[in-house]
Structure 1
């Protein structure tokens, strides 16, 4: 089975039960170098392995802004 999600506005089909952490790894991104949100809600790095992506989810991957 698969799920249809959007990633940064691009429609994407993923295997069922894909987690946010798995998506980041599949894309070759460093978990520390990317911020994440699902359906407009920030997902903490520690929660990504538990966040299973569901059909219709809108995922945003972004470079966190740091500084001061």
Structure 2
């Protein structure tokens, strides 16, 4: 992957804070269906590919909050 001639080794993607419940559930379902990972706790979930690694984490600031989903892509 290149961005204007630059080849990054790592990219962090982050969901929007304060999502509505249905929006958050769509993110969660996409991760489950496409990556085969669940977000039941706040530990990093890792998946290896031939091109690199992908990690997913659910972060919460308060218990009642739905949280924020972070996807980290690390290329070889």
Q: Normalised by the size of structure 2, how large is the TM-score?
A: 0.29
Compare CA radii of gyration and give the structure with the larger one.
2
User: Which structure has more RCO (C-alpha within 8 Å, separation ≥ 6)?
Assistant: 1
